[in-house]
Chains A and B, each alone.
Chain A
Amino acid sequence: MNFSLKSWPVYIIGVGLLILFIANISLGSIQIPFHKVFYALLGQGDTQDTHYSIIWQLRIPKAVTCIVAGAALSIGGLLMQTLFRNPLAGPDVLGLSSGASLMVAFVILIGTSAASYLPTVNPWSLALAASFGSGAIFLLVIAVAHRVRDNTSLLIIGLMIAAASGSLVSVLQYLSKAQDLQAFVIWTLGSVGGTNWSEILILTLLLIIGGAISITSVKALNAWLLGDNYAQSLGVDIKKSRLKIVLATSLLTGGVTAFCGPIAFVGLAVPHLIRLLVPTTNHKILLPMVMMGGAALLLLCDILAQVPGSSNVLPLNAITSIIGAPVVIWVVMRSKGVKM
C-alpha cells in the first residue's frame, strides 16, 4: 500500500493534535473560561489577568514541552525499533533512559550538591550529560546485540543494563543530601510541567537536530528493515548510518530525559499505534507521523494526569505506563513470535 502524506490518517492526527493542544491548555486544576483561553492564545486579553499569566507562563510551556518531548521520544523509539529490527525496542526498554538518568543523577546529586533544586543546574550541561549517558548505553547495547541475535535475549540484556545503572543511581541517592534527593525523586516520576522557556528552546533545538538526522537517513532506515547484509548490498553505509541513528536517538532521548525525567512507554508505544493507522514501512511517512502521534499522545497523557475536574495531579509516568503497557501486551499477543 502506498501512503502519501496527503491521505486521511494524516489529517486525523493533525486535527487531533490541534484539539489536544487547545484542550491541554484549557484544562487544569484552575478552571479558566474557554473564551479567555481563546483570546490568550491569540495574544489578546488582559496581560495583568491571573488567568492570562497562568496560560502563558504555565500551561503553554507545559503543552509545548509535551509536543516537543512526545515527538522526540517517539522518533527515538522508531529509530531503535528499526535499528534492532525489534518491535519491543524503545529508549526506556533498552536502558537508554536509565543511562540518561544515571548521568542526571550525577549532575543533580553530586555535581551541584550546593544547589538545592533542578532549575539551577545549567540546562545545557544537564542535556548533554543525559545525551552522553543514553549514547553510552546505546553503544553498549549495540555491541551486545551483535552477539545475540534473538529478540528475547536482547530485551533481557537491556533490562539488566537498566537494572545495573538503576543500582548505581540508588547508591548515589543513598549518598546524597535529603533535599537533592527529593528533587531527584520527583524528577524520576516524569514531568512536563517544570520546564522554562530556555529549556524548551534547548529541547526544540535537539529535536530539530535529531529530526533532521533522521529525515536525511530515510533511505538507510528503510534498508535496515531488510537486515544488515541486504542494506549493505543496496548501497547503505552500515557503520555510518548506525552511528547517525545512535547520535540522533541519544540526543532526542537524552534531552527529554534531562528536562522531563525518564518518561516511560511513549517511545515504545507510539510507532505501533501509528502503524495501525498508516500500515507502511516507509520512514519518509512514518517519521513525521510518529512525531505528530507522539506529541498528541503526550498531550493526552498530560491532560489525564491533571485529572480534569479535580485539583490533584498524578505523576506523568503513571499515565504513560497505563497506556503503554497494554500496547506492549497487544504487540506480543498479536505477533505470537515477535515481529515488526
Chain B
Amino acid sequence: MMKDSPLYTKSLSIGYPSIQDHILLDNLNLSLYHGQLVCFMGPNGIGKSTLIRTLAGSQKPISGEIHGIGNKNVAVVLTERVNAGMMTARELVNYGRYPYLGWSVKMTEADQSKIDEAVQQVRIQDLLDKPIHELSDGQMQMVMIARALAQDTPVLLLDEPTAHLDLNNRVEIMNLLRKLTKENNKAILVSTHELALALQTADVVWLATSQKSIRVGMPEDLVLDGTFDEVFQFKGFDLKTGRVRQEPYRNTGVQLIGEGHAYLWTKNALERNGFHIDPNSSLTVKIETLPNRLSLSTHLNNETHTYQSIAELLSRLTKT
C-alpha cells in the first residue's frame, strides 16, 4: 500500500524543539493516496498548520520520517495572504513554475501550457490581468490554487483554504478540490473547520485528538463510532442527525401532516420554537403544496384555521 503513496510518514513527531512541551502531534503514520481527498480536522491550536508546514518541508520534524518531500512532488496553499502590491494574478500563477526554472526565470512553451492548463481547471481566465490586491478573498484563493496546480505536483496540501469565505465560495473550492482528485488523480490534503462540508466531500478524514494522535477513517465511520463527538465535544449539536439539538421547551406536541421540502422546513421552524412532533397529538398541522403557493392549516377540536406562511402559523401557535 505504502509504495503507491506519493507522500507518507513513519513515526513522525512534529512541534517546536525550542519550546518545553514541544511535541504537538506524536508518532504519526499517515499516507496520502492518488485520487483521494483528505480533510484534516481538529480543534484550533492542535497542530494542523504545523503538520502541513512539516509535510511541505518548510519546518523540520522533531523525529521520524517523511517520504515524498520536494517541490516537484508537493505544492502548498498556506493561510498567509500574499501581499505584493502591483503583482497581477497572472504573475502569481507563474510562480508555480519556479521549481522548474533556472536563475533567470525564463519560461518555455511547455511551462506556459502547464500554466494555461491550471488556469482553465480553476476557471480564472477573467482574473489574470487584475492586480491581486483587487481580488476578493475567494478569487485570491482560486488564484493560489491555480498557482499550486501550475507546479504540476502529485500532492496538494491546503491549509484552511475556505476560511473567511462565504458558503458559495466554500462549496466551490471543495468541489474543485474533489474534481481534481477524481479527474487529475491528485492526492489532496485540506485542513478545514467546515464540518458539514468535510463530511460530504472527503474520502478520508484525519482527526487530530487531544492525545496528540490522528485518527484516520471514512467520515461516516468516524461519525458513527463517536470519534467526532469525542474530539470536538459538541455542545448542542447532534452530529448523527447533522442538526443543532432543540429543547422541546413548550411541552406541546404537534401532529404534522405533509410531505417534501415544505414538511422539513415547517418541522424545522416548529422544533426551533420549542414544539415537538408527536403523531398522537390532537393538535394537527396540515401542509398542502398548491401550485406556486403554500397552504397551512391547524385543526384542534373541530376548529380550523388556515395560513399563508410559516411565520403566520407560528405567530398563532405561540400565542396560545
Give every chain B residue within 8 A of A176 (Cβ-Cβ). none
Q: For the complex, is B269 an interface residue (Cβ under 8 Å from A)?
A: no
CB-contacts of A110-146 with B (<8 A):
none
In the complex, A236→B87 CA distance in Å? 19
In the complex, A87→B84 CA distance in Å? 10
The answer to whether B105 touches A284, judged by C-beta atoms less than 8 angstroms apart, is: yes
The answer to whether B87 touches A225, judged by C-beta atoms less than 8 angstroms apart, is: yes
The answer to whether B95 touches A229, judged by C-beta atoms less than 8 angstroms apart, is: no
In the complex, A289→B53 CA distance in Å? 36
In the complex, A234→B57 CA distance in Å? 11
Looking at A9-17, A34-42, A274-282, the stretch in contact with chain B turns out to be A274-282
The answer to whether A230 touches B82, judged by C-beta atoms less than 8 angstroms apart, is: yes
CB-contacts of B77-101 with A (<8 A):
78, 80, 82-88, 90-92, 95, 98-99, 101
The answer to whether B82 touches A282, judged by C-beta atoms less than 8 angstroms apart, is: no
The answer to whether B83 touches A339, judged by C-beta atoms less than 8 angstroms apart, is: yes
Give every chain A residue within 8 A of B58 (Cβ-Cβ). 228-229, 232-233
Give every chain B residue within 8 A of A282 (Cβ-Cβ). 91, 105
Q: Count of A-B contacts with CB under 8 A?
A: 82
What is the total number of residues of chain B having a CB less than 8 Å from a CB of chain A?
A: 31
Q: For the complex, is A152 an interface residue (Cβ under 8 Å from B)?
A: no
In the complex, A223→B99 CA distance in Å? 11
Give every chain A residue within 8 A of B71 (Cβ-Cβ). 233-235
Q: Which of A85, A217, A218, A233 contacts B56, CB < 8 Å?
A: A233
Give every chain B residue within 8 A of A340 (Cβ-Cβ). 83-85
Give every chain B residue within 8 A of A234 (Cβ-Cβ). 71, 95, 98-99, 151
The answer to whether A227 touches B99, judged by C-beta atoms less than 8 angstroms apart, is: no
Interface SS of B by simple majority: loop
The answer to whether A219 touches B98, judged by C-beta atoms less than 8 angstroms apart, is: yes
Task: Convert A207-243 into 0s and 1s, putting 1 for each residue whose CB lies closer than 8 angstroms to a CB of B.
Answer: 0000000001111001101111110111110000000
Give every chain A residue within 8 A of B74 (Cβ-Cβ). 233
Q: For the complex, is B104 an interface residue (Cβ under 8 Å from A)?
A: yes
The answer to whether A222 touches B78, judged by C-beta atoms less than 8 angstroms apart, is: no
The answer to whether A281 touches B95, judged by C-beta atoms less than 8 angstroms apart, is: no
In the complex, A234→B90 CA distance in Å? 16
Q: For the complex, is A1 an interface residue (Cβ under 8 Å from B)?
A: yes
Give every chain B residue within 8 A of A339 (Cβ-Cβ). 83, 85, 133
Chain B, Cβ-Cβ closest to A334? B85
Q: How far is the CB of A217 from chain B (nearest CB, A)?
A: 8
Q: For the complex, is B76 an interface residue (Cβ under 8 Å from A)?
A: yes
Q: Which of B80, B84, B88, B104 contacts A1, CB < 8 Å?
A: B88
In the complex, A232→B78 CA distance in Å? 12
The answer to whether A218 touches B105, judged by C-beta atoms less than 8 angstroms apart, is: yes
Q: A229-B80, A232-B58, A233-B56 are in contact. Are A284 and B104 (CB under 8 A)?
A: yes
Give every chain A residue within 8 A of B91 (Cβ-Cβ). 280-282
Q: For the complex, is B75 an interface residue (Cβ under 8 Å from A)?
A: yes
Chain B, Cβ-Cβ closest to A2? B90
The answer to whether A233 touches B103, judged by C-beta atoms less than 8 angstroms apart, is: no
| Residues of chain B whose beta carbon lies under 8 Å from any beta carbon of chain A | 53, 56-58, 71, 74-76, 78, 80, 82-88, 90-92, 95, 98-99, 101-105, 129, 133, 151
**Beyond known contacts A219-B103, A226-B84, A229-B58: 16 more, CB 8 A cutoff:** A1-B129, A85-B83, A85-B84, A87-B85, A219-B101, A219-B105, A222-B95, A225-B82, A228-B58, A233-B57, A233-B75, A234-B98, A235-B98, A280-B86, A282-B105, A339-B83
6 contacts between A and B (CB under 8 A): A218-B104, A219-B102, A230-B95, A232-B57, A233-B58, A340-B85
| Residues of chain A whose beta carbon lies under 8 Å from any beta carbon of chain B | 1-2, 85, 87, 216-219, 222-223, 225-230, 232-236, 275, 279-282, 284, 335, 339-340
Shortest Cβ-Cβ A-B pairs, 6 listed:
A234-B98, A235-B99, A225-B84, A235-B71, A279-B86, A281-B87
